Amino acid sequence: MEVSTWPAILDLLGNLAFPMILLGSLLLRSSSSNSPAGPNLPFGLGRSKAKFQMEPNTGITFDDVAGVDEAKQDFQEIVEFLRTLEKFAAVGARIPKGVLLVGPPGTGKTLLAKAIAGEAGVPFFSLSGSEFIEMFVGVGASRVRDLFNKAKANSPCLVFIDEIDAVGRQRGTGIGGGNDEREQTLNQLLTEMDGFSGNSGVIVIAATNRPEILDSALLRPGRFDRQVSVGLPDIRGREEILKVHSKNKKLDKDVSLGVIAMRTPGFSGADLANLMNEAAILAGRRGKDKITMKEVDDSIDRIVAGMEGTKMVDGKSKMLVAYHEVGHAICVTLTPGHDPVQKVTLIPRGQARGLTWFLPGEDPTLISKQQLFARIVAGLGGQAAEEVIFGEPEITTSAAGDLQQITQIARQMVTTYGMSEIGPWVLIDPTVQSSDVVLRMLSRNSMSEKLAEDIDSSVKNIIDNAYEIAKAHIKNNREAMDKIVDLLLEKETLTGDEFRVILSEFTDVSINNTKRTPAREMIEV
Ligand code: ADP
Ligand code: ZN
Ligand code: MG
């Protein structure tokens, strides 16, 4: 099983923003977080020995990169420099040498760098930070030297260093000794950056998703002294990116890119590209000549929740999963502030044996206390149903994923968002999230014991309250649940509307189901 470490703040936000937080049995976060780095053969064997790549012409333009208008604007100037170096040199302008491109994976950093080279019509040299780090001391440094020599000989040009954090992390704090190879490589990189003058026509762009761990020497004037950020795209950005990636695809007229954008909060550009490709493959496999909304929907489900598994056989365990999921769905529907249920299904996907999906009503970049609390109640709905219906001794392990999620949310409410009686201050040092073991230990120790206890008890309070509410929802709606579970067992999947129709025979379901402002208008505020 995947052991999820404490997420960075952004990670949680991303997590919350991820479509329709899946309240699934045994659902462990899968997709984005666990990309194994591939087979790691000893002594760098089996690795390609390519030192760096050089593309004389990337063929990529700004039109290929969508939804990151600000970054494009920031880079317009760099393109200008590369195009007309002499003009700037003539008036004595000092041209920037290094730009740090910051953003999460898949947001188009590499693509953007290639587009800059493409727009300027200059060669593109690239090298990934992780490729620097070899078993043999000195190899990385000599690669850096080679790279810069080649680049200078081909000026004007653009040098792209991906994953610069692999070489550029803060020196001298690592436990277990420094890494000689890395330090040498970093020093060489600094020397090279200092060695060429601003007007040599070599511009270096480095990408990272963790600027905070970079050695401060890298960020000094004359090195990577400019930063450009790209974030996950908002709904309009997603629609633009979808446009780019459906250009060469045949779409049925029922496919609305706006609707897809609405259903995919938290998707990066790479996720969206992948989505359209999956949908095309699916359409091909189904023998269709066009991609329909069905293929897109199925691909979203698959990307978010994993591959469809084999169906459960009828029996106690299927019944239990059915109650568990309906428990979620009822709490989703009856707790004020929650987004509406989109569907409930017993068809297993990824690690989950059942899933309750909800439709994000708006781009979840701003989340209220009420909404967070509603997510905790909804997240506990599964276990609450197991306890209320089958009795405490029968509670199963299926809520493990739910509990992990809701505990994270509750803890962040207290420590990060100032949403508890402790008050509005940040109770964890950002370095807690640092990947550096020593920094993490130090910051833990700087908190008073009393405060640590208060945090724990506030978190517990929130969760205890939520669990009581969840159990009350289940108890008060027992009859409705039985009826919904019967139908769910028969049909395997219920749409949100089918679910609400039955529930509304027993109770008022209008609370979270009022027509929402479409997301498009929401973000225009
Ligand atoms: P990063 O370097 O930030 O991890 P990449 O540039 O490698 O991301 O993106 C991977 C792929 O995802 C790109 O080749 C492209 O197909 C798609 N993609 C990512 N961001 C965008 C975007 N903003 N516009 C269009 N396509 C994108
Ligand atoms: Zn669950
Ligand atoms: Mg990249």
Mean pLDDT to the nearest integer, 275-291: 96
CA distances from 510 to 211, 244, 335, 339 (A): 45, 38, 11, 12
Residue-level pLDDT at 31: 35
What's the pLDDT band for 192 if we cut at 50, 70, 90? confident
| Domain's final residue, options 209, 229, 249 | 229
Does 35 fall in a domain?
no
Clarify whether residues 246 and 218 are in a common domain. Answer: no
Task: Say what angle helices 449-476 and 316-334 make with each other, to 10 degrees.
Answer: 100
Ligand 1 pocket residue status of 231, Cβ below 6 Å? no
Clarify whether residues 335 and 298 are in a common domain. Answer: no
> What is the count of structural domains for the chain?
3
Contact 307, 354 (CB under 8 A): no
- The percentage of residues in the chain with a pLDDT greater than 90, rounded to a whole number, is 48
Residue-level pLDDT at 112: 95
What's the pLDDT band for 185 if we cut at 50, 70, 90? confident
Clarify whether residues 479 and 338 are in a common domain. Answer: yes
Q: Would you state the structure tokens that stand for residue 147, as one six-digit string?
A: 């790279």
Model pTM score: 0.76
Clarify whether residues 256 and 394 are in a common domain. Answer: no
Q: Helix count (H) and strand count (E) of the chain?
A: 20, 10
Least confident of 9-13, 119-123, 192-196: 9-13
Nearest ligand atom owner, CA of 228: 1
Q: pLDDT digits over 389-443, tens only?
A: 999 999 999 899 999 999 999 999 999 899 999 888 877 765 555 556 666 666 6
Clarify whether residues 292 and 430 are in a common domain. Answer: no
Q: pLDDT digits over 298-323, tens only?
A: 999 898 888 888 888 888 889 999 99
Contact 354, 324 (CB under 8 A): yes
Clarify whether residues 273 and 365 are in a common domain. Answer: no
Separation of 26 CA from ligand 2 center, angstroms?
Answer: 7
Clarify whether residues 326 and 466 are in a common domain. Answer: yes
Catalytically active residues are 325
Does 10 fall in a domain?
no
Residue 142: HSE in the Cβ half-sphere, 13 Å Cα cutoff: 5
Nearest alpha carbon, ligand 1 atom 12 = 270
Domain assignment of residue 390, given as a range: 315-524
Q: Which atom of ligand 1 is nearest to the CA of 162?
A: 2
Nearest to 324 by CA among 288, 292, 363, 353: 353
Residue-level pLDDT at 193: 85
Does 1 fall in a domain?
no
Separation of 239 CA from ligand 2 center, angstroms?
Answer: 31
Does 83 fall in a domain?
yes
Q: Which atom of ligand 1 is nearest to the CA of 209?
A: 3
Mean pLDDT to the nearest integer, 465-493: 96
Does 413 fall in a domain?
yes
CATH of the domain at 288: 1.10.8.60
Nearest ligand atom owner, CA of 114: 1
| Domain's final residue, options 276, 305, 334 | 305
Separation of 378 CA from ligand 2 center, angstroms?
Answer: 9
